Amino acid sequence: MSAAHNNFDLMAPPVAKTIRQRSLLVGAVFSVVAGMIAWKWPDQFFHAYLISYMDWLGIALGSMAILMLRHLTGGGWGMVIRRILGAAMRTLPLLALLFLPILFGIPRLYIWARPLDSIQDKLLREHLEQITKTYLTTNGFIVRAVIYFAIWGAVAFFLTKWSAEQDHPPIRDNSSRFKALSGPGLILYGFTISFAAIDWVMSIDPGWISTIYGLLHLAGQVLSAICFAVVVERILVRYKPMSELLQPDFVHDHGKLMLTFIMVWAYFSFSQWLIIWAGNLPEEITWYMKRLNGGWGYVGLFLVLFHFAVPFVLLLSRAFKRDVTRLVWLAVWLLVAHYVDLFWMIEPNFSKTFTVTLADLVIPFAMGGLWMSYFFRNLNAMPLVPAYDADAKQVLEPAHE
């Protein structure tokens, strides 16, 4: 490793600090409003809180997954956004903290945590009488959440620790350790996010199951993570060092990744829909009945068009994928669409007709402001590229490519 890397500073530009402060301001202001909502309309608060929480958590965990994917496959596309993904992943402590309010909302969110006598549906009551003794218990819910966060935290910890070592002249080559962790790490992520999605979202409707459900969340998380990375790289590319690091080929790969995960998301969603639609069993199709009636159908149609069809067509264009200034708009759009997707999955459990509450508008910004502020703090903490990684020359020495 030569002095070539020190030709320019690899730290994030000052703009990161500005955004960090402004995000904190936004987060704080909206948090105050959110607090008032929690006091006035606690139900609405918790519904919106869960949706928003799954959204921001998804970016952090999806970033972790892409990071591990990069460690396994290599490539300049991943190196150039590696520290962006890392910074998003390192928001997990904040997300663990933000999980705590959900614990206070358990009875408001989950029917299984309320007295079962009030349930009209006899079959559901019988089922819940069984399952609330074994699996769907408040203690079990908390213990499992601790396990999920412990696993995510451990993976994130080691990925960060070894990555930080690569900012200095190497003691040893870490790439094999990254590989050794990332394989099992991805499997652990697959399992934990599935069970977390079952616990936190699917169990809102405890009579309904879908075995693909975990993968559906997984696809959405990875998609929103890559979109988020594109947004951040767009902000940074106006300044050094990103302006010298980001090549159109890398942006192209990020665009391809977006396209891939849009298709994966659509594939999982359509498979689930087709199988349930064709089977038409009362315990399954009701999930879709809730989400296709009372105005919710338009939200579903919106998702088909704007979470899949339009982005898909746009991303077929090679020129579009290579131009980060255009790609970023789609990335922002998909982040919004993913929020709508979670909204469509969660909110119809509580509301028969399509309604958007004040909480739904305020809490994403409250949480997002805090999250973004923490993200940019993380981004400032480490250089944007680990200069002493064996693969770093893929982005640091583009002339030799």
Partner 1 sequence: MDEQTKSVTSSKQAPVIEPGYTFATVTDKISAIVLQRPTSNGWFVGFGIGFLLTMMMLFAIGYLFVRGTGIWGVTIPIGWGFAIVNFVWWIGIGHAGTLISAILLLLRQSWRNSINRFAEAMTLFAVSCAGIFPLIHVGRPWLAYWLFPYPNTMGVWPQFRSPLVWDVFAVSTYFTISLLFWFIGLIPDLATLRDRSDNRWAKIIYGILAMGWRGSARHWHRYETAYLLLAGLATPLVLSVHTVVSFDFAVGIVPGWHTTIFPPYFVAGAIYSGFAMVLMLAIPIRKLYGLEDFITERHLENSAKVMLATGLIVAYGYVIEAFMGWYSGNRYDAFTLWNRLHGPYAFFYYMLLACNIVIPQVLWSKKLRTSPVWLFFISGVVLVGMWLERFIIVVVSLQRDFLNSSWGMYYPTRWDWMTYIGTIGMFLAAIFLFVRILPMISIFEMRTLLPEAEVKE
Partner 2 sequence: MKRTPVYGLMAEFDSATALVAAAHRTREAGYKKMDAYSPFPVEGLAEAVGFHHDEVPLVVLTGGLIGCLAGYGMQYWISAISYPLNIGGKPYHSWPAFIVVTFEMTILFAGIAAVFGMLALNGLPMPNHPVFNVPRFALATKDRFFLIVFSSDPKYDAAATRQFLESLGPRSLSEVPG
Q: Which spans of this chain sit near partner 2 (rule: CB under 8 A)?
A: 270, 273-274, 277-278, 280
**Nearest Cα to Cα of residue 68 among 225, 227, 239, 240:** 225
- C-beta of 215: minimal distance to partner 1 in Å? 6
- C-beta of 283: minimal distance to partner 2 in Å? 17
- C-beta of 367: minimal distance to partner 2 in Å? 35
- C-beta of 232: minimal distance to partner 2 in Å? 32
Indicate which of partner 2, partner 1, none lies near residue 141 (CB less than 5 to 8 Å, by partner kind): none
Indicate which of partner 1, partner 2, none lies near residue 33 (CB less than 5 to 8 Å, by partner kind): none
**Quick one: 209 or 274, whose CB is closer to partner 2?**
274
- C-beta of 357: minimal distance to partner 1 in Å? 30
The single-letter code of the amino acid at 180 is A
**Quick one: 114 or 240, whose CB is closer to partner 1?**
114
b/e map 131-157, b = 16+ CB within 10 Å: ebeeebeeeebeebbeebbebbeebbe
CB atoms near residue 2 (< 10 Å): 9
- C-beta of 303: minimal distance to partner 2 in Å? 15
Indicate which of partner 2, partner 1, none lies near residue 267 (CB less than 5 to 8 Å, by partner kind): partner 1
Indicate which of partner 2, partner 1, none lies near residue 209 (CB less than 5 to 8 Å, by partner kind): partner 1
**Quick one: 171 or 281, whose CB is closer to partner 2?**
281
Distance CA 110, CA 133 (A): 15
b/e map 292-322, b = 16+ CB within 10 Å: beeebeebbeebeebbbeebeebbeeeebbb
**Quick one: 9 or 129, whose CB is closer to partner 1?**
129
Indicate which of partner 1, partner 2, none lies near residue 130 (CB less than 5 to 8 Å, by partner kind): partner 1
The single-letter code of the amino acid at 26 is V
- C-beta of 401: minimal distance to partner 1 in Å? 5
**Quick one: 187 or 316, whose CB is closer to partner 2?**
316
Indicate which of partner 1, partner 2, none lies near residue 15 (CB less than 5 to 8 Å, by partner kind): none
Sign, Cα dihedral of 126, 129, 132, 135:
negative
Tokens of 94: 């904040």
**Quick one: 269 or 394, whose CB is closer to partner 2?**
269
Indicate which of partner 2, partner 1, none lies near residue 240 (CB less than 5 to 8 Å, by partner kind): none
- C-beta of 280: minimal distance to partner 2 in Å? 7
Which positions lie near partner 1, rule CB under 8 A?
A: 73, 75, 126-127, 130-131, 135, 183, 187, 190-191, 194, 198, 209-215, 263, 267-268, 271-272, 274-276, 278-279, 281, 283, 401
- C-beta of 283: minimal distance to partner 1 in Å? 7
**Quick one: 27 or 78, whose CB is closer to partner 1?**
78
- Contact between residue 255 and residue 320 where contact means Cβ atoms under 8 Å apart: yes
**Quick one: 8 or 277, whose CB is closer to partner 2?**
277
**Quick one: 83 or 291, whose CB is closer to partner 2?**
291
Indicate which of partner 2, partner 1, none lies near residue 281 (CB less than 5 to 8 Å, by partner kind): partner 1
